[in-house]
């Protein structure tokens, strides 16, 4: 390609890059917007500079591109946040903004999960024998033992002491993250897997709740689940929302090829699951070290539980609303 044609083809792009550079060099609120596509533009400029050098274009043209590349290099490493900063930004604002942006999938997952939970819970409470339609008899016995009002530690498969809390923490982490990953990955089956796991977990949890409430174990059960449930149940719905997003993209990829559309959707879906994983870690800690306690009055647990639910709701509703950093 001749130099004149090369220059005319890319001149508008270089002018736009120069405008981005000026905005970044000035700083302020416009810098965050200017940086949004800057790394990709910088890489293209470097490739074009390499092409110009290889083809032996004029020194004047190469010098202009070299100057832009040097200024771009300075701004790239000036504005590139370290990993810790990016993680902190995601936790403090990016995750909640993403949840709000994907509210349609979050709403769909919530209706599936909480709807099936409430439905099976009410059915089992009104018709107790229906619990065996959802849970095997041996699992019912196990649940009754775990939430027996006389138990020294609630929600445990066996009588463990406080020194074993860290073991239960590890168990809860692995179990909860496994459920969330199944719910998310099931979206690759055109959303059917996510749909199944949302309904399955909702029906199972609801049946347990209805049965234990019906036999008079409501206080140990509800005082146990209300605290960590704010994080755990929210995380399951978010993992389901991420899976539904993948599934809907596979069904209706739009203008993109199905593979490309899935890749674009996965960028947001994986971030949703990353945030859900953080919520599950918090849930496991609360479940192991707080929920299982029996020497704390139930009214205190209910108060703390309500506070945690409000805290999670407030975080997802308000966090990151006043931040200008790119998603």
| pLDDT computed for residue 87 by the predictor | 81
Query: Which residue, of 80, 97, 122, is where some domain finishes?
Result: 80
Name the domain count of the chain. 2
Task: Tell me: do 91 and 65 sit in the same domain.
Answer: no
Tell me whether residue 323 is in a domain: no
Give the model confidence (pLDDT) of 261-294 as tens digits: 999 999 999 999 999 999 999 999 999 889 888 8
- Domain hosting 10: range is 3-80
Pair 56, 149 in one domain = no
The stretch 133-159 carries a mean pLDDT of 84
Q: What confidence tens digit (pLDDT) does each residue in 72-127 have?
A: 888 777 655 556 767 888 888 899 999 999 999 999 999 999 999 999 999 999 99
Number of Cβ within a 10 Å radius of residue 63? 10
Output the furthest CA–CA distance in the chain (Å, rounded).
87
Whole-angstrom CA distances from 143 to 131, 154, 155, 319 are: 12, 10, 8, 37
In the numeric block, which tokens belong to residue 231?
């994080």
Q: Which of 135-144, 201-210, 315-324 is least confident? A: 315-324
Mention every residue, 6+ apart, whose C-beta is less than 8 A from residue 31. 23, 24, 79
Q: With residue 75 as reference, give the H or E element that holds it.
A: helix 59-79
Same domain, 246 and 269: yes
Convert the pLDDT of each residue in 202-240 to its tens digit: 999 999 999 999 999 999 999 999 999 999 999 999 999
Contact 293, 252 (CB under 8 A): no
Q: How many residues does the chain have?
A: 327
The last residue of a domain, from among 40, 56, 80 = 80
pTM over 0.85: no
Q: What percent of the chain has pLDDT over 70?
A: 90
Domain stop point among 19, 48, 80: 80
**pLDDT category of residue 32 using cuts at 50, 70 and 90:** low
Q: Is residue 55 domain-shared with residue 123, that is, in the same domain? A: no
Model confidence band, residue 325 (pLDDT cutoffs 50, 70, 90):
very low
């Amino acid at each position: 390609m001749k130099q004149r044609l090369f220059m005319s083809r890319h001149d508008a792009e270089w002018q736009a890059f120069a405008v981005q550079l000026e905005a970044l060099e000035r700083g302020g609120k416009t810098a965050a917007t200017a940086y949004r596509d800057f790394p990709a533009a910088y890489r293209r400029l470097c490739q074009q500079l390499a092409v110009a050098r290889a083809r032996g274009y004029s020194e004047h043209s190469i010098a202009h591109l070299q100057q832009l590349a040097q200024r771009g290099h300075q701004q790239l490493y000036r504005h590139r946040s370290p990993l810790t900063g990016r993680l902190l930004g995601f936790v403090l604002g990016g995750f909640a903004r993403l949840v709000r942006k994907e509210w349609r999938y979050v709403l769909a997952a919530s209706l599936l999960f909480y709807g099936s939970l409430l439905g099976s819970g009410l059915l089992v409470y009104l018709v107790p024998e229906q619990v065996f339609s959802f849970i095997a008899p041996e699992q019912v016995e196990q649940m009754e033992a775990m939430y027996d009002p006389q138990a020294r530690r609630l929600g445990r498969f066996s009588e463990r002491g406080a020194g074993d809390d860290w073991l239960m923490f590890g168990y809860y982490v692995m179990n909860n993250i496994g459920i969330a990953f199944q719910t998310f990955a099931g979206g690759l089956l055109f959303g059917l897997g996510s749909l199944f796991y949302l309904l399955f977990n909702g029906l199972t949890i609801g049946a347990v709740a209805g049965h234990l409430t019906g036999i008079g174990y409501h206080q140990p059960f509800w005082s146990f689940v209300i605290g960590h449930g704010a994080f755990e149940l929210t995380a399951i719905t978010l993992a389901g929302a991420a899976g539904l997003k993948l599934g809907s993209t596979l069904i209706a990829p739009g203008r993109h090829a199905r593979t490309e559309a899935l890749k674009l959707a996965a960028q947001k879906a994986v971030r949703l699951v990353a945030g859900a994983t953080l919520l599950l870690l918090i849930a496991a800690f609360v479940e192991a070290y707080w929920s299982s306690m029996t020497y704390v009055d139930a009214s205190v647990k209910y108060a703390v539980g309500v506070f945690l639910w409000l805290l999670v709701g407030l975080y997802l509703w308000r966090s990151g609303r006043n931040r200008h950093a790119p998603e």
